[in-house]
Amino acid sequence: MSSATDRDDDLADFAAALIGSRFSVAPKRLAPPGPDAEQLRRMVEAAATAPDHRELRPWRLLRIAPAQRDALADLFEAALLERDAAAGAAERADARAKAHRAPELLLAVARLAPAHDDVTEPERYVTLGAALMALLLSAHAMGFGAMLTSGRALRSARFARGLGLADDERPVCFVSIGTPTEVRRHARAPASEWLADWQPPSG
């Protein structure tokens, strides 16, 4: 009969293995099938476990369904022409292709309202980041590949309007999810490069 300590150790080992084995897969290397409706629901429920100071729900996810990809491609092309009116056919085609590269595509949106003195704007983005990591880990546990992508289009006010975002919302990144066709793992820096002891100022 296993003890509570054994179960805790097993859970810790599982969490370490899941987190340590996760890697990003570029959208162009994601193929069908993507998650079904139930799997996507479970991923979003995982995202909802992120810390949420004052329970403001400072983020949401906007799903871009397959039937809506051409409309998204129009927005990508319009954003390109907004910053480079002389963009050629190849550049415009590349911009449009971004809308069609993954079976499942979500837009992560930061919500800056309602305002609250205790919850600053940076803290809201931290909450969104925590939610996205939980979603990515959930997708990885189900055997899917995923990646966060951004780009200059997300900084376009016209692009945000085309997505129907409110004035107090900011598009942060896309989340692409699908079945990996190729795995490219990159070496991670050791923990010693990420963690340092604080040294109080002398004098």
Q: What is the distance in angstroms between the CA of the first residue and the CA of the last residue of the chain?
A: 58
- CATH class in words for 24-68+102-182: alpha beta
Share of the chain above pLDDT 70, in %: 99
Burial of 102 (0-12, 13-18, 19+ CB in 10 A): buried
What integer is the mean pLDDT of 32-56?
96
On the question of pLDDT at 1 being above 60, the answer is: no
More confidently predicted of 7 and 58: 58
What integer is the mean pLDDT of 63-82?
97
What mean pLDDT is reported for the chain?
94
What confidence score (pLDDT) does residue 25 get?
A: 96
Domains of the chain, residue spans: 24-68+102-182
The per-residue pLDDT for range 165-182, each reduced to its tens digit, is 999 999 999 999 999 998
Its pTM surpasses 0.75: yes
